[in-house]
Amino acid sequence: MAAKRSGRSKRGINERLQPLQEPRSEPPLSRERIVATAVELLDAQGVDGLTMRRLADRLGSGVMSLYWHVDNKEDVFDLALDSVLEYRGPPQIAQDWRGEVVHVLEDWRASMLRHPWSATLLPRRALGPNILGRLELLSKTLSRAGVADADVNAAIWSLWNYVMGATITRASFDLSDDDRAAAQQRLTRLSERYPTIERSRLLLDNDWDGAFKNGLGFLLDGLSPK
């Protein structure tokens, strides 16, 4: 019931009334500062690492002060997620449609991997303006490329599914070396039950970027207008 979006509170006349009691006098709270700090915290500690108490600590404020600027913790997640998914456009003009689609999706994946918590968050929160912008761009590109109108939506969802699956998997699997060692041990121990994937070293391939590009190539082959 609160949460103004308040650009900047205006004091300025009597700053001297703050007798520098704190060595580093924090700037006043604001939605932007909260969101930026939340992103920092999420990057550093993951989804479970973001608590309102820690967020307030980093901001040098009390916990309940945050609730003046945001509705609740879910709101913080939504704002942080959206702030991270901006698309700045292709590097130069005049690409072919495949190049453009690949660039949008690789940039999307890269943004989410830079903030791994965002990948697991995106599917379960509302679509913010930045994601809608990306979908709009994809839609226009595919249409212009000659994909039949009846196929465009299915094509977009295929691409969405592919990026989400790839990124969530990638972001979830780069845990500790212990886990990696344990997984390898388990697999070789069970190699007689899973001979094919053991032989092809399916679970040991670390070229995630290459696999992403190759698989996307397959999908675009299937999507190309005949």
Q: Which residues bind a second copy (CB under 8 A)?
A: 120, 123-124, 126-127, 129, 132-133, 135-136, 139-140, 143, 149, 151-158, 160-166, 168-169, 172-173, 179, 182-183, 186-187, 190, 193-197, 200-203, 205, 211, 214-215, 217-223
Give the length of the chain.
Answer: 226
CB proximity list for 202: less than 8 A, separation 6 or greater: none
Residue span 48-77 as binding mask against DNA, x where in contact by CB under 7 A, dash where not:
--xxxxx------xxxxx-xxx--xxx---
Q: How far is the CB of 54 from DNA (least distance, A)?
A: 6
Q: Which does 105 bind (CB under 5 to 8 A by kind): DNA, a second copy, none?
A: none
Whole-number Å distance between alpha carbons of 119 and 85: 10
Q: How far is the CB of 81 from DNA (least distance, A)?
A: 16
Query: Rounded to an integer, what distance in angstroms lies between the CA atom of residue 182 and that of residue 194?
Result: 16
Tokens 């009334």 found at: 17
Query: Closest distance between a second copy and the C-beta of residue 151, in Å?
Result: 8
46 touches, from a second copy, DNA, none (C-beta below 5 to 8 Å by class): none
Q: Please choose which of DNA, a second copy, none residue 146 contacts, taking the beta carbon within 5 to 8 angstroms, the exact cut-off set by kind.
A: none
- Nearest approach in angstroms of CB 11 to DNA is 6
Alpha-carbon distance 173 to 152, whole Å?
A: 32
C-alpha to C-alpha distances, 107 to 74, 84, 88, 113, 165, nearest whole angstrom:
26, 12, 9, 10, 15
Torsion, Cα of 193, 197, 199, 204 (10° steps) = -120
- How far apart (Å, rounded) are the C-alpha atoms in residues 137 and 169? 25
| Chain contacts with DNA (rule: CB under 7 A) | 4, 6, 9-11, 13-14, 17, 28-29, 50-54, 61-65, 67-69, 72-74
